[in-house]
Chain A
Amino acid sequence: MTRINLFVAALVWVSAFVVVSTQYRVRQLTTEINKQRDLAYQLENERTKATLAQSRLSTPSRVESTAREVIGMELPDPQKSLLLDLRIVAAQTAQTGVKP
């Protein structure tokens, strides 16, 4: 009888220890998860900022103003533009052998 009691008491003690240590471990892991979640959130925000910066830099209006002001480009003047239908040019090239 005494042995059984001792065994049960030991079992209770071990169970209590396991419960407490598991709770502690769970809280540790929860803290870690939240840290990682915060990190993921920060990284996501960084990505958003980077994407936004990329979009801001590549807007057509910025590309055009950069082309005008930095590189000195200008829109083609329709009066001075010569449009080529490459299909026709290719056919003529094949006929005449002259390569543009």
Chain B
Amino acid sequence: MSRTATPIKKPRGANNISFAERFAGWRVQLVVFGLLTGFSILVGRGVYLQIIQHDDLTRRGEARTLRDVTVPAHRGRILDREGAVLASSVPARGVLAFPDQVEIDDKQVAQLAQVLGQKPADIKRKLSSERDVVYLARSVPVEKADAVRAMKIAGLSLQNEFKREYPSQEVMGQVLGITNVDDIGQEGLELAQNDWLAGKHGARRVMIDRRGGVVEEHGSLRAPQQGRDLQLSLDSRVQHIAFRELKRGVETHRAKGGAAVVLDAQSGEVLALVNYPTASPTDRSAAASGGLRNRALADLFEPGSTMKPFTVAAAIDAGVLRANESIAMTGGQYTTNGATIRDVHTIGSNGYASVLEIVQKSSNVGTSRIAERLPNELMSRYLQRAGFGRAPQTGFPGEAHGRLRAPQTWRPIEKATMSYGYGLSVNLVQLARAYTAFANKGQLADVTLFKNNGSGRQSRVFSPETASILLPMLERATHRDGTAPQSQIAGYRVAGKTGTAKKLHNGVYTDGKYVSSFVGLAPVSNPRFVVAVMIDEPSTGQFYGGTVAAPVFSQLMSQTLRLFEIPFDAPLPGSPNAEAVVAAIVREGN
């Protein structure tokens, strides 16, 4: 009998477990591998994003959330010598539109037009523009801009701006000039002093939300630098007086225009500088058409007889003329180079006139004969020292230099006519500056439009003795027997000289077209102010400087003297005693 060994059967479950275990082990490994791979990818991605792409991603993130916001800086103010504001920038808004984003109905267009002071058709035309951004209005007052904001029109935006305001309007217009809508100087002192006045905008970084609201400050990038104030030498009160009197003079004589200058004789500071007609700096159309042109500095004219004192002073200073000398008047006419110079009135007696009479009565013949004694170069040198032929350098843009030809080219007739103010040209400020030499014992004061507290420079033109000889002659010119009795001022001694010059038209001196001028100084005992007045083409029949310009001078100078409380230096006409004053007060009271 054989015994057959029965193979031991493994339980089914035992084989399955083994396979399952093996499968489980493999699966675990796969998962671990997967996890590790995934983790490695994440780590790699993390490294890539955090290290390799860090800067780029940071930049892109900041670009979406960080904004650099402009911190506006205002333009400096312009002040007069007493600190009164002549120009100042106030906040305003620009109204911007993004035409392709604007959602607006006709009613809103009408409302918007009303707020902005425009026609609805103009608003619609701007909104139909194909440009990305258009300005609906600039320099809009903040209150109106707030009204626009309250309308909540999609596609409209407001921009911070400044608007320049000029309280004195046309009185100062031609001196101050204007700025454009971006508050940048375009003309006058606004242009010349733009670097000084202009502020520099600052910037700060902020984090914004999806709607653009600031949610977090990231600090200042650049602090704003406010514009600096500019103090002028001008005095608003004198400027106003000058404007009023000049306007009256121009209108009385129905003239084409005029200009007036008031200088502090010692410091050379310009206290007033006016032109008429003029324009307001806020009137941009007038500015564009030349209405803001400062004629007192930019326009030239032949000074006429106001030049005579310089010819006489040069001759006395050079030693070729004695103050007490008599000059042969040769029958009231003087011929040279075939041309004859005449006087309007007979001057002197017995064919001779004193130097005093020549100045006082304004003799062309006498001045020409005196100039004859001066070598060309010497006369030219004196005129140059007096500032002729060179710009006044007040700091104003576009100053005219004036014309003074080279002495080598002067023919005798040209020298003769130059001696009484023809054949050379000046601007009014230049002429006023020259007269400071008579006010300052022969020293010419450098003129300036900026307050210098009396620290202005001076340069010698004549000796003090020459100036002291000329000053009484100029004073006599304002007396009853001079050419300008209407320049006199009650209570003050005045010195000055008239000028009446024919105007050149197409190279020919025209009858009926004159420039009437007067330049004077006061008080003679201690000159404080020099005033020059020029009236262009008076047309009422009167054209002499003594009747057209001298009265303007008188009014302007007298009010300036009283304003600055300058003590009287002449007896007051008909000045009553205390009893008469009491009687007058009693009469007035009754």
Contact = CB atoms under 8 A, between A and B. Distances in A.
A34 B71 CA distance: 10
Contacts of B578: 89, 92-93, 96, 98-100
B237 A31 contact: no
B218 interface: yes
Contacts of B572: 83-85
A100 B585 contact: yes
Contacts of B89: 48
Given A59-B240, A89-B581, A52 B576 contact: no
Contact of B91 (A45, A84, A98): A45
Contacts of A33: 217
Contact of A83 (B204, B219, B243, B490): B490
A27 B575 contact: no
B231 to A, nearest CB: 14
A21 interface: no
B541 to A, nearest CB: 23
A96 B583 CA distance: 14
A78 B241 CA distance: 15
A100 B86 CA distance: 42
Given A45-B90, A60-B237, A84 B85 contact: no
Contacts of B350: none
B165 interface: yes
Interface string B63-84: 0000000011010010000001
A37 to B, nearest CB: 8
A59 B217 contact: no
Given A52-B88, A52-B165, A100 B581 contact: yes
Contacts of A59: 84, 167-169, 171, 236, 240
Given A52-B90, A84-B572, A84-B581, A30 B219 contact: yes
B582 interface: yes
B568 interface: yes
Interface of A, helix, strand, loop or mixed by DSSP: helix
B240 A64 contact: yes
A5 B69 CA distance: 47
Q: How big is the A interface, by class?
A: 35 or more
A61 interface: yes
A15 interface: no
Given A31-B217, A85-B568, A100-B585, A58 B577 contact: no
Nearest to A56: B167
B579 interface: yes
Contacts of B85: 51-52, 54-55
B575 A51 contact: no
Given A92-B577, A96-B578, A100-B578, A31 B216 contact: yes
A88 interface: yes
Nearest to B577: A92
Contacts, number: 98
A56 B167 CA distance: 5
Interface string A59-85: 111001000000000000010011111
B84 A58 contact: yes
A25 interface: no
B584 interface: yes
Contacts of A30: 217-219
Interface string A12-53: 000000000000000100110110010001001100110110
B217 A27 contact: yes
Contacts of B168: 59, 61
A49 B162 CA distance: 12
A42 to B, nearest CB: 9
A45 B91 CA distance: 7
Interface in B264-291: none
B579 A83 contact: no
Contacts of B241: 60
Interface string B552-580: 00000000000000001000101111110
Contacts of B491: 83, 85
Interface in B529-567: none
B240 A61 contact: yes
Interface string B210-253: 00000011111000000000000000110111011000000000
Contacts of B243: 61
A21 B171 CA distance: 60
B90 A34 contact: no
Contacts of A27: 216-218
A82 B90 contact: no
Contacts of B77: 48
Nearest to A33: B217
29 contacts: A27-B217, A33-B217, A34-B217, A41-B72, A44-B74, A45-B74, A48-B89, A48-B90, A52-B85, A52-B88, A52-B90, A52-B165, A52-B167, A55-B84, A55-B85, A55-B88, A59-B167, A59-B240, A60-B237, A60-B241, A61-B168, A61-B169, A61-B240, A83-B572, A83-B575, A84-B576, A85-B491, A99-B582, A100-B578
Given A60-B237, A83-B568, 11 more contacts: A34-B220, A48-B90, A49-B90, A52-B165, A55-B84, A56-B165, A60-B240, A83-B575, A85-B568, A88-B575, A99-B578
Name the 3 nearest CB pairs between A and B, nearest first.
A60-B240, A55-B85, A100-B581
